[in-house]
Structure 1
Amino acid sequence: MGADRPENVRRGYARVGAYVACGAVLLTGCASMPDSGDLRGVDSTPRQDTQVRVFAMPPQDNAQPADILSGFLEALTSDDPLYSTARQYLTAAASKTWRPDRSVTVLADGPGTVSDNRDARDAADDLSFHLTGTRVARVDGQDAYAPADGSYTESLHLIRDGRTKQWRIDRLPQGVVMGKSDFQRNYMSVNKYFFASNTAEGASGQAAAVADPVYVRRRVDPLTEMVRSVLGGPTRWLDPVVRTSFPTGTTLQKGVTSLAPDDQNKLTVPLNANAARVGAAKCAEMATQLLFTLRDLTPAVDQVELRSGKRNLCSLGEDRADSVAARGSEQPPDYLYFVDGKDRLVRLPSGGTGTRPDPVPGALGEGDKPLRSVAVARDEHSAAAVSADGRDLYVTSLTSGESLGDPALVSHGASDDDRLTAPSWDARGDLWVADRDTAHPRLLLLEHGTGDPIVVKAPQLDGRVQDVKVAADGVRIALVVVKGDKKSLLIGRIERTAEADEKPAVSVLELRSATPDFEDVTTMSWAGDSRLVVVGREQGGVQTTRYVQVDGSTPEGPAPAALSGVKEITATEDDRLPLVAYSEDGIVRLPSGAQWQKVVSDGTAPVYPG
């Protein structure tokens, strides 16, 4: 638990010479609380320099109940690795049963406190309080973030020790609670990586790497914590569709408490005996998981060596890791595609600055069939296109002389807006599209873009699918879903089951919101291994463009530059390539560190492969 705090009420932290001598910088800060009556929540603290480490002060002798409460809450927002100072505010029995790593509850502001005592001064040796606030999110015991809402109320109980006469907390909720700004100061999101259990990347047969974002304390040895997190396996939501190459029960070797790279940027990871018998291929996958994870965290690690006991299991550098598994953000596309004013599918080199696109080879580059939307396979050898009226879906090769052929799918929706969405290709080369026919709405999958469509089961889907985008890893899907006047962005997990000689059963399960603050989502695209770019509107607001994480959190860093009248947007998992949008100005792009630039004034439907 913790409290967001304004500058003018800081008093619980002190500048202590012993800490300074150890190289730590201490800040002052504490929330002041009266002994009784209704107490106000503490305002948010301005964001502080992430390099400043904050340490709390233990309780002073004869501290009053209000000081015990405020000191304890402040201690939970410090950088004390094991919450040792916070435990000094508890009785011995409470300290033994309290598990701060159980969860983190994030409130809009610091927790307010309400006294349950009519007059605390009349209570001789015990006092009760309630912590209150408005929920924003919860981080569970696996460090997985999930948005939350509603009110928060939990009880705290203090007693005065009969022997020492000191006040201490003897009953409290498990986990910790803090305000949003303290959470942002204390925690950061990092992707850990596993492998898709049912998906290979294209024809190469490479394992597809899947990002699993978690939140860790940013100044409490995050490198070691992320290694432990990878060894501990995927989060519950992702677990059914990924695998880890670490043998069951693998942990750091006994006695290893901290890891650090050497001066050659090599990280040596000593593992317990459970990993001692892994073969070379399996060990390479294990090291790849760690390298992909640590790339997200620090540039100081470019090689991982795994050991068990005295045995060197394997050593792997960044160059070999990319040959072991395919990571979406490491697979830049060759081209950007869009439909020009002549109804042709055209393309531009993805990293260039040109404004003169060329028609793609094949039927889609000839302009004989007016198009509404397109999707290009991730290998850029074939494409799918929806006709201008939304009725027909065509799939064809991007090869000179290739004909368009018959539609692969036909919608019978009554109007243009009740027919097919833009399609999307997954990492297996399968094609996804939604039919918005009000009489028979369906989410559909065409294996390798051909054959009879498979109807995808989505038991939790409440509304009609407006837009579909599959992640590069092939196990997560983003859906814009319309219900009433609200358009929401939901992330689902793709599960496949197959029986001999039968088509696979495909399901999208455990849909969860990635934009809990939005009431209208206009368009979206994957923009990282666990990030999307979204154009939409918050309640009562105007159209805005921002990045969101698949878990519903907001990533650090600036939002994209403002752009009005956005109808469609596209991005790649490789953030070195520009965002591209179709707006009231035509096709525009946003290079890194620049403003939006016009590409052409008469184009629509921009897409990168996928």
Structure 2
Amino acid sequence: MTGRSTARRAPLVAVLAALLLGGCSTVPSSSPTVRITQAAAPPAGAVGIEPPAPVPGATPEEVVRGFIDANASTVRNHPVARQYLTEEAAETWRDSDGLTVISGDYAPVRTEPGVVEVTAAEVGTVDERGSFTVGTGEVYNKDFTLTDESGEWRISDPPDGLLMLEPDFARTYEPVDAYFIDQSGTRVVPDPRYLVEGGAQPNTLVERLLDGPSPQIAAGVLNPLTGAKLRSTVSTSGRSATVDLSFPADVDDATLQAASAQLVWSLDQLDLTSVEVLRDGQDLGLPDVPGQQRVDDWQQYDPDVVPADAVGHYVADGALRRASDGSAAPGPAGAGVYRLGSAAVSVDGRTSALGLTVGVSTSASASGAPATLYAGQYGGELVPALTGASFTEPTTAGTRAEVWTVRDGAEVIRLPGGGAPQTVSAPTLPGLGRATTFQLSPDGLRAAVVFDGPEGGQLYVGTVVRAEDAVSVRDLRSVTPSIRQVVDVAWRNAGSLLLLAGDPSTGRTVPYEVSVDGWGLTELTTAGLPAQPTAVAAAPGRQPLVSAGGTLWQLPGGNWVTAVRGAEPLPGGAPFYPM
């Protein structure tokens, strides 16, 4: 999908901007991770592996274990799980109050007669909308009280919501993105949800869209489906879906277009390649929009589009170079005039041409400042824009001609093309430590930040919120709390990250991949690397790049190979992809 058009529709942007103003107001490293939704109400008749009912004479420990196993049932209201409860508890237990996911190696231990303590690593929680929050690394601990009811042990105080083992959760739930619209009105933005596998997924996913975005990104996105309601269950036939909605009476064509794109991109993940969107049972009647809509009809909203000519770049001996062949970038930056240590380049969304270029030089400036931020057009002269004690490697997003960085570990700086540097409000950032890495997601909605703490670097993800007169970074939250030696991070696409972090068991730095919400933490190979990696670059549809042993390497498959395949390693570091 990286070759999709990036055409923009100015009237739609204006309408969506008005919509925004009107509506403003631990995963353990040893276990694989997954994704969630639909926790509140599994579909009737869902197919799954049903756990057994209680056996006569079961011990308290066996009853508690059976209850937890039965929480993985996909049958509505969890009738088998209720059989492990007292009659009163079975009547009052609320199984729709979200999910708590714990490690599969939990231990139920009887601590006194009629009390069983469950101890486990808390993987994370899922709210009623299906949004996952990674565990903080705390231990899950719960005392279950059991009473003798008609000669059998039964639980009298079950926790509300579902308590599921990680393997059961991974088997039962599937990760799916609910897509919303970014504030520029030009891209769909992934909002991870978790859906029970089965035929109810299309209807559940549309319901999640109607419910709105998760709290983590709500302030940074638009929802064209606000106020809409489903008139009937989403129907499917083969690879086609029909969504019949009622919209607010004053809805305009631009909002209907954006809502259509949102629905089509979301349902496409469920292998529904065409979607008919109806309004009160009738065709939408939008000009140039077919009755059966496909992703190709809304390719301008591609969340992961990257221009074909945006090849990887890096820095060697102070000069900006291309990773595709090791050649120097045009202009003074490619000649090493500015003695750059890192750089970033934005891409013009209309022409796909490389544009605003920003580089950091650590050569002492005329004012004596240790670091200088240079800015200008790609291939042209760069001029000093800012000085400071330090700057993080600059970063760009694909939706705006601007470059961001963090000065002196605490001040987030935004440099728009043709404008003056601006300080971005990030109220929670200083309290988390010194920021050593700051990277924008391809859609510009999220920021990944590495903070240097007492035990090493920790990775946080926040939301970029744009108002008429201000830009801010909010809701910074840890997404890999089990890893405390992060040295660098990059966005593989709008919904997942690559990071380099120390592995305490080996004492080496290794690459990982993880979802934006912290689920699915997976260690990647280091095979082929000559030394430990120190910097990473990534982009949608591009092969990851790392700097290792002072040379560049890419990952096209199972092993790392030289950046130019079949050639000697390119000396250099600070790799990046223009956005």
Fold-level similarity (TM above 0.5):
yes
Once the two structures are superposed, the pairs formed by residues 217-232 of structure 1 within 5 Å of their partners are 217-219=196-198, 221-232=200-211
The 1-side partners of 2:31 and 2:532 are apart by 35
Q: Which residue of 2 aligns with 1:174?
A: 160
Q: Which residue of 2 aligns with 1:525?
A: 490
**Whose RCO is larger (CA < 8 A, sep 6+)?**
2
The 1-side partners of 2:264 and 2:559 are apart by 31
How far apart are 1:134 and its partner, in Å?
2.8
Once the two structures are superposed, the pairs formed by residues 321-332 of structure 1 within 5 Å of their partners are 321-323=298-300, 325-327=301-303, 329-332=304-307
Q: Which residue of 2 aligns with 1:212?
A: 191
Amino acid at match of 2:407: D
Q: Report if the CA contact (8 A) 1:106-1:138 is conserved.
A: yes
Q: Report if the CA contact (8 A) 1:465-1:480 is conserved.
A: yes
CA RMSD of aligned residues (A): 3.1
The 2-side partners of 1:92 and 1:449 are apart by 70
Structure 1 residues 555 and 252: alpha-carbon distance in aligned structure 2, compared to 1, 3 A threshold: farther
Q: Which residue of 1 aligns with 2:11?
A: none
Aligned: 1:445 with 2:414: yes
Q: Which residue of 2 aligns with 1:288?
A: 261
Amino acid at match of 1:393: L
Structure 1 residues 560 and 288: alpha-carbon distance in aligned structure 2, compared to 1, 3 A threshold: farther
Amino acid at match of 2:242: T
Aligned: 1:480 with 2:480: no
The 2-side partners of 1:582 and 1:64 are apart by 57
Aligned: 1:375 with 2:344: yes
The 2-side partners of 1:116 and 1:479 are apart by 43
The 2-side partners of 1:559 and 1:52 are apart by 34
How far apart are 1:594 and its partner, in Å?
5.3
Aligned: 1:267 with 2:245: no
How far apart are 1:514 and its partner, in Å?
2.1
Which of the numbers 502, 524, 546 marks the counterpart of 1:581?
546
Aligned: 1:364 with 2:333: yes
Q: Which residue of 1 aligns with 2:39?
A: none
Q: Report if the CA contact (8 A) 2:395-2:405 is conserved.
A: yes
Once the two structures are superposed, the pairs formed by residues 387-536 of structure 1 within 5 Å of their partners are 387-389=361-363, 391-399=371-379, 402-404=380-382, 406-411=383-388, 413=389, 419-426=390-397, 427-436=399-408, 441-448=410-417, 450-461=419-430, 462-498=432-468, 504-536=469-501
Amino acid at match of 1:434: V
SS at match of 2:214: coil
The 2-side partners of 1:545 and 1:394 are apart by 30
The 2-side partners of 1:336 and 1:135 are apart by 41
Amino acid at match of 1:435: R
How far apart are 1:245 and its partner, in Å?
0.7
Q: Report if the CA contact (8 A) 1:112-1:133 is conserved.
A: yes
Identity %: 26
The 2-side partners of 1:338 and 1:183 are apart by 41
Q: Which residue of 2 aligns with 1:29?
A: none
Q: Report if the CA contact (8 A) 2:439-2:447 is conserved.
A: yes
Q: Which residue of 2 aligns with 1:5?
A: none
The 2-side partners of 1:277 and 1:92 are apart by 51
The 1-side partners of 2:447 and 2:175 are apart by 20
How far apart are 1:373 and its partner, in Å?
0.5
How far apart are 1:159 and its partner, in Å?
4.3
Structure 1 residues 220 and 537: alpha-carbon distance in aligned structure 2, compared to 1, 3 A threshold: farther
Which of the numbers 532, 536, 539 marks the counterpart of 1:565?
532
How far apart are 1:567 and its partner, in Å?
1.6
Q: Report if the CA contact (8 A) 1:525-1:532 is conserved.
A: yes
The 2-side partners of 1:64 and 1:410 are apart by 69
Q: Which residue of 2 aligns with 1:24?
A: none
Amino acid at match of 1:473: D
Structure 1 residues 73 and 192: alpha-carbon distance in aligned structure 2, compared to 1, 3 A threshold: same
Amino acid at match of 1:567: T
The 2-side partners of 1:342 and 1:482 are apart by 27
Q: Which residue of 1 aligns with 2:131?
A: 144
Q: Which residue of 1 aligns with 2:23?
A: none
How far apart are 1:238 and its partner, in Å?
1.1
Q: Which residue of 2 aligns with 1:14?
A: none
Q: Report if the CA contact (8 A) 1:46-1:181 is conserved.
A: no
- TM-score, scaled relative to structure 2: 0.80
Structure 1 residues 262 and 582: alpha-carbon distance in aligned structure 2, compared to 1, 3 A threshold: same
Structure 1 residues 47 and 214: alpha-carbon distance in aligned structure 2, compared to 1, 3 A threshold: closer
SS at match of 2:120: strand
SS at match of 2:417: helix
Question: Gaps spanning 5+ residues in structure 1: where?
Answer: 1-43, 119-126, 201-205, 349-354, 414-418, 499-503
How far apart are 1:533 and its partner, in Å?
0.3
The 2-side partners of 1:604 and 1:130 are apart by 52
SS at match of 1:100: coil
The 2-side partners of 1:214 and 1:548 are apart by 15
Amino acid at match of 2:116: F
How far apart are 1:347 and its partner, in Å?
2.5
- TM-score, scaled relative to structure 1: 0.76
The 2-side partners of 1:422 and 1:449 are apart by 20
How far apart are 1:333 and its partner, in Å?
4.5
SS at match of 2:204: helix
The 1-side partners of 2:199 and 2:107 are apart by 27
Structure 1 residues 240 and 443: alpha-carbon distance in aligned structure 2, compared to 1, 3 A threshold: same
How far apart are 1:291 and its partner, in Å?
2.4
Q: Report if the CA contact (8 A) 1:424-1:432 is conserved.
A: yes
1:523-573, CA deviations, whole angstroms, 9 ceiling, x for partnerless residues?
1100111111001114444211110122122257x735544321211110x
SS at match of 1:482: strand
Q: Which residue of 1 aligns with 2:556?
A: 591
Aligned: 1:131 with 2:121: no
Q: Which residue of 2 aligns with 1:32?
A: none
Question: Gaps spanning 5+ residues in structure 2: where?
Answer: 1-29, 35-45, 286-290, 349-353, 364-369
The 1-side partners of 2:284 and 2:145 are apart by 52
SS at match of 1:225: helix
Structure 1 residues 308 and 94: alpha-carbon distance in aligned structure 2, compared to 1, 3 A threshold: farther
Q: Report if the CA contact (8 A) 1:341-1:603 is conserved.
A: yes
Structure 1 residues 442 and 154: alpha-carbon distance in aligned structure 2, compared to 1, 3 A threshold: same
Name the larger-Rg structure: 1
Q: Which residue of 1 aligns with 2:102?
A: 107
The 1-side partners of 2:296 and 2:462 are apart by 32
The 2-side partners of 1:577 and 1:551 are apart by 22
1:133-169, CA deviations, whole angstroms, 9 ceiling, x for partnerless residues?
232222222222222222323343444556xx66544
Once the two structures are superposed, the pairs formed by residues 154-193 of structure 1 within 5 Å of their partners are 154-161=142-149, 168-193=154-179
